[in-house]
Amino acid sequence: MDRMNFKDNDSKLDALLAQYRDAIPDQDAGANFMPDLWKKIEARRREGVFALDWLFADYREAVPDPELSSGFMPALWRRIEARRNENVSVFRRFAQVCMLATAALTLAMVVITHVQSEPVYSASYVDVLDAAHTVDSAQLMDSGDFQ
Amino acid sequence: MLVEFELIERARSGDDSAFSQVVQAYRKRILGTIARLIGRPEDVEDVGQEVFLRLYYSLEQLRTPEVFEPWLYRLTVNAAYDYLRRQKRRQESRMSDLSEQQVMMADAAAGGKLNAEELRRGKVREQVEALLEHVSEEDRILLTLKEVEGLSLKELEKIYRVNENALKVRLFRARQRVLKAYEAGEGAEKEKGAREG
C-alpha cells in the first residue's frame, strides 16, 4: 500500500514540476541584456583594476624610502677600494706573466743562437763571392771581349 | 634631476667628492626603489651599494649628464634583477625562506607589539609581494617601476632602451597576470568569509 502511495506521489511530483516548467517558460532576454552584461563585466574589471591600483599605491606607502644607516658611505668606499685593488692586482699579474714570457723567449733565442753558432759554410760569403768573380773574369778575358 | 649636470661631469672626471655628493643626493630614492623592487629590507643597502659601485666604475661611459637618471635606474634595475635571480636560486634550494622582516613581523604580531597600521602595512607588503610572484623577475621589476614607482612610459623607454609599444605590451601582459591572481585571491577571501560568516 505504502509503495503504491509513494509511486503515486512520485509521479504527482513529476507532473507538478512539469506544470511548473510550463508555467514559467524559457524567456528571451531584453534588448539591453548584452549591453548591460558588458557594462557589468567592465565595471567589475575596472573595480579589480582600480583595486589593484590602490593596492600598488598602498604598497608604495607601506614600503617608504628607508632611513639610511651611517655606515652606508664608508662601506661603499671600502667596496670601491676593494674593486680597485682587485683590478690593480689583475693588471700586475698580467704584467708579471708578460715579463716572464719575455724572459723565457729571450733565453730561448740565446740558446738557439748558441746552438746555431757552428758555421754552416766552410768559407765566408766574401770568399765565395770572390771565387765566383775570379771565374767570371777569367772567362771574360778568354773570350777577348774584355777591353 | 636632483643634482647639477656640472656635479655629474666632475664625478665623471674622477672627482671622488663630487661622486659622494651624487650618491648622497640619490641614495634615498634609489634605496627606496630597491626596497620595493626586491621586498627584503635587510638586503636593500647591500644591493644599493652594488648599484653605486657599478655607477662609480661605469660613470666614464656615460655619454652626457642628461641621461644620468635613466642610466642610474638602469643600473638599479640590473642589480635588483641579479639579486632576485640569486634569491630565486637560493629559494629553490631551500624549503622555506622567510625574510628577516617577515620573521620580525610574525614575532611582533605574536607578542602583540604591532599596532593596527603596522599590521596593515605588513599585510599590504605580503599581498603585493605574493601577487608579484606570479610574474617573472623582469616583469616584476618593470611593473613595479611603472605601477609603484610611477615612472612614465617615456622614462621606462629610456631605461630599457626599447620602444614604447613593446613596453606597453609587456606591461599589459604582466598586469593581466597580476590582476588574475588578485581576482583569484579576492574570490578565495570572499569564499572564506562566507564560510566563516
Same domain, B49 and B133: no
Residues of B in contact with A61 (CB under 8 A): 121, 124
**C-alpha cell of B24?**
648622497
Question: Are the Cβ atoms of A53 and B147 closer than 8 angstroms?
Answer: yes
Residues of A in contact with B36 (CB under 8 A): 59-60, 63
Same domain, B87 and B152: no
**CATH label of the domain that carries residue B42:** 1.10.1740.10
Alpha carbon of B178 to those of A142, B130, B134: distances in Å? 109, 10, 6
Same domain, B107 and B91: no
Question: Are the Cβ atoms of B32 and A64 closer than 8 angstroms?
Answer: yes
Same domain, B197 and B112: yes
Same domain, B90 and B102: no
Q: How high is the pLDDT of residue B95?
A: 47
Tens of pLDDT, residue by residue over A32-55, are 767 776 676 667 666 777 888 888
Q: How high is the pLDDT of residue B153?
A: 94
Q: Is the pLDDT of residue A111 over 90?
A: no
Residue type, position B3, single letter: V
Residue B10 and residue B18 in contact, taking contact as beta carbons nearer than 8 Å: yes
Residues of B in contact with A88 (CB under 8 A): none
Residue type, position A89, single letter: S
Residue B167 and residue B160 in contact, taking contact as beta carbons nearer than 8 Å: yes
Residue B32 has its nearest CB partner, among A59, A65, A79, at: A65
Residue A63 has its nearest CB partner, among B20, B125, B178, at: B125
- Angstrom distance (rounded) from CA B146 to CA B171: 8
| A68 in B contact zone (CB under 8 Å) | yes
Q: Which of B65-74, B106-115, B117-126 reaches the highest mean pLDDT? A: B65-74
Interface of A with B in 85-114 (CB under 8 A): none
Q: How high is the pLDDT of residue A136?
A: 61
pLDDT band at B119 (very low <50, low <70, confident <90, very high): confident
**Mean pLDDT value of segment B8-24:** 91
**Mean pLDDT value of segment B101-119:** 68
ipTM of the modeled complex: 0.73
What is the domain range of residue B31? 1-97
Domain residue spans of chain A: 79-147
Residue A62 has its nearest CB partner, among B121, B178, B182, at: B121
| A79 in B contact zone (CB under 8 Å) | yes
Least confident stretch, A104-113, B69-78, B92-101, B103-112: B92-101
Residues of B in contact with A49 (CB under 8 A): 179
Same domain, B61 and B116: no
Residues of B in contact with A51 (CB under 8 A): 182, 186
- Angstrom distance (rounded) from CA B53 to CA A76: 7
Residue type, position A139, single letter: Q
Q: How high is the pLDDT of residue B2?
A: 87
Top residue of B30, B49, B133 to mutate, by most chain A CBs within 10 Å, is B49
Same domain, B91 and B102: no
**CATH label of the domain that carries residue B166:** 1.10.10.10
Residue A66 and residue B41 in contact, taking contact as beta carbons nearer than 8 Å: yes
Same domain, B112 and B150: yes
- Angstrom distance (rounded) from CA B49 to CA A77: 9
* Structural domain count of chain B: 2
Same domain, B136 and B82: no
Residue B28 has its nearest CB partner, among A49, A68, A83, at: A68
Residue B4 burial (CB count, 10 A): 12
Q: How high is the pLDDT of residue B139?
A: 94
**Which domain-ending residue is among B55, B73, B97?**
B97
| A70 in B contact zone (CB under 8 Å) | no
**Which domain-ending residue is among B79, B97, B115?**
B97
Same domain, B75 and B8: yes
**Which domain-ending residue is among B74, B97, B120?**
B97
pLDDT band at B172 (very low <50, low <70, confident <90, very high): very high
